[in-house]
Amino acid sequence: MNYVSFIRRGRLALSIVGLVGIAVIAGLVWRTAAIQRNQADEGKRRTQASRRDGVGSEVMFADNNGNCRPSAESLSHFMFTRSGVKLSGQTNTRLARMEANTLAGVNRRITNDELAEILTQTALERISRSTDQEIDYAAETLRGFDAADLPESFRRGRDKIKLRASIAGSATPEDFKAQVKSLRNADGASKEIFRGAAKVAIGNEVTRRVSSLNDAIPEKFASPNGLTPIQAVLITYSVAGDDQLMDSAANLQKRLRSIQIGFTRITGKTYASPDGHFAYGPNGYVFSTPIDLVFDDQTVNLLLDHIEERGARQ
C-alpha cells in the first residue's frame, strides 16, 4: 500500500465518520424535535381536556330547542364562581332572547373581527365615563393578589401594574392612572389612534380564545358562521379577566390549593390561603383584574346593544 493510497483511504474513512456523525446528530435533532412535538401535543391535549372540564361541562350552550334562558344562567353562574361577577336577572333575560333570535335566524351571528370592534368601542365608552375613583380602583386591582398573610417577598411584586397574566408588569400604578385619565379626557382624534391599536390587540385575544374553544369543544362551540350572543359574552369575559376557562369549579379550587402549596415549598414561607378568594376578577388568586367595571349592568347592556346592532345587519 503506497502513501497516497493510505491518505485517500484515510480521507474516505474520515468522510464516512463525518457522514455517520452528521447522521447521528441529525437523528438526535430529529428525536429531540419529535419529543418536543410530542410534549407540545400532550400539553395541548391536557389544556383541551381542562377546558372541556371547565367551560365545556359548566356552560350550557343553547341549541334550537329553546333552552336559551338556562344557557344564559349557566354562563352567569360560571363567571360568578370564578370571578365574583354575574349577570342580573334582567340582563339574563335579554341575553336569552338575543340568543333565541340568533339561533332562529332572526339575527345573524357576529364574526371575530366584529366582536373585536365591539369590545374596542365598549372599552372606549367605559373609559370615557370612568371616575377618578374607578381608575384608582382599577390600578390597585391590577397590582395583583393581596392578603393579610401574603409573604413580603410577594408583596414587593405588587409595585407594578400587570395587564396580562403571562406578561410581567412594567408600568407603575401612578403611570397607569395618568395614562387612563389622559385617554379618558382625550379628544376624538387621539381616541381614534387608540382605537386602531386596541382593536389589533383585542382582535388577537379574541381569535386565540375562539380558536381554543373550537379545538376543545367543537360540538358545542365551533361554527363557520360566527358567534352567538352568549358565546360573544363568554369570550368577552375571558378576554377581560384573562381567564382561560379551564377546570370545573371543584378542580379550580384544587388548582388554587396547589398554587399555595407550590409557593410555600419554593419560598419556605406559608403562602396566603385561597380560602374566601375567587381565582379571577378583583383580587383574584390566579390573576387580579377589575372585571367588575366591565361587567357592571350598564356596561354589559351597552355591549349587548352593540352585539344586537351588528347581528341585525343582514
pLDDT, tens only, 189-223: 989 999 999 999 999 999 999 999 999 999 888 78
- Of the pLDDT bands very low, low, confident and very high (cuts 50, 70, 90), residue 308 is very high
Domain span at residue 204?
110-311
Mean pLDDT estimate for the chain: 87
Domain match, 201 and 303 both: yes
> What is the per-residue pLDDT for 299?
97
Domain match, 222 and 307 both: yes
- Report whether 262 contacts 103 (CB < 8 A): no
Q: Name the residue with higher pLDDT: 271 or 33.
A: 271
> What is the per-residue pLDDT for 43?
73
Q: Say how many domains are in the chain.
A: 2
Would 157 be classed as within a structural domain? yes
Q: What are phi and psi of 129, to 5 degrees?
A: -105, 10
**Could you give the percent of the chain with pLDDT greater than 90?**
73
- Of the pLDDT bands very low, low, confident and very high (cuts 50, 70, 90), residue 23 is very low
Domain match, 48 and 174 both: no
Of 6-20, 80-94, 173-187, 288-302, the poorest mean pLDDT is in: 6-20
Domain match, 44 and 120 both: no
> What is the per-residue pLDDT for 38?
53
